[in-house]
Amino acid sequence: MSGRTPVVGVLALQGDVREHAAALRACGAEVALVRRPEELAAVDGLVLPGGESTTIDKLLRRFGLMEPLRARIADGLPVYGSCAGMILLADRIADGTADQQTVGGLDVLVRRNAFGRQVDSFEEQLHAPALGAGPDDPPMTAVFIRAPWVEEVGPGVEVLATVSTGPAAGRIAAVRQGALMATAFHPEISSDVRVHRAFLRSLAAAIADRAATGATSPAHP
C-alpha cells in the first residue's frame, strides 16, 4: 500500500453508479467501476449504490460476484451502501421478496421501502457528527427515495443519524459497524460529499490498521 493511492470501487450493475463515482472523484479518490470478480479483487474499498436491491441481488449472483464480495467483506473490505446498498449490507431484511439474498456483514434488520413509495420521497435536514454534520456545522440534506430504515441494530453497530421530524421521527437513517457504513438516504444525488468523505476516512483508517498489523490488502498482496 505504501506510495499507492487506494482505489475505490463502485458496484456498476444497476443504480446511481455515475453519481457515486462523481462524488468520490470530487473528494480526490481514484475510482474504478466493478462488474466482474477480477475488478472486485483489485479495489481497496467499495460503494454499493442506490437502486433496486432485488435487481442488484440477482445481478450479483448472475455475474458471479455475490460469494467473492461476501468473502472480501469477511476479510475486512471497507464498504459503503446507500439506500439499496444498505439493504444489501444488512444481515436481515423485512418485506423482502421470497428469494431475495443480501451480501450481509451489518448486524442490522432493515425494512425495505419503509419510508413509503416513490411519491412519498422527501428531504430531511440531518445532524450527524460522525458524517461531518455536527452541531456547529450546516445540517446535511438527506434525500429519501423509496428508502429503507433500520429497525434493529446489533451490539456492535453505531447509529450515525436518525430522522428528527415527521411520522418517521426517530427512525435510524445511517449506521456503521467496523469497516462497513450505510445510509438510508442518497448523498450521491446531492452536492454534499460529506458522507463520501467519511467513508474515505474509514477506508484510510482500515488501510492504516492493516499496515500496523503487518497485513496486506487482499487486492494488493
Q: Is residue 186 annotated as a catalytic residue, yes or no?
A: yes
- For 81, 164, 208, the CA distances from 85, given in Å and listed in that order, are 4, 22, 25
Q: Which of 19, 20, 124, 186 is catalytic?
A: 186
Q: Which of 19, 20, 188, 196 is catalytic?
A: 188
Q: Is residue 83 annotated as a catalytic residue, yes or no?
A: yes
- For 37, 68, 174, 201, 204, the CA distances from 208, given in Å and listed in that order, are 25, 23, 24, 10, 6
Name the pairing type of β-strands 90-94 and 79-82. Answer: unpaired
Q: In terms of C-beta density within 10 A (0-12 exposed, 13-18 middle, 19 or more buried), how is residue 149 classed?
A: buried
Which triple of cell numbers denotes residue 103?
451480501
Nearest to 6 by CA among 213, 214, 212, 210: 210
Residues 141, 132: contact at Cβ < 8 Å? Answer: no
Q: Which of 20, 83, 124, 196 is catalytic?
A: 83
List, in order, residues 6 or more apart from 87 with CB less than 8 Å away: 53, 81, 93, 96, 102, 110, 112, 148
Q: Is residue 27 annotated as a catalytic residue, yes or no?
A: no
Q: Catalytic residue numbers? A: 83, 186, 188
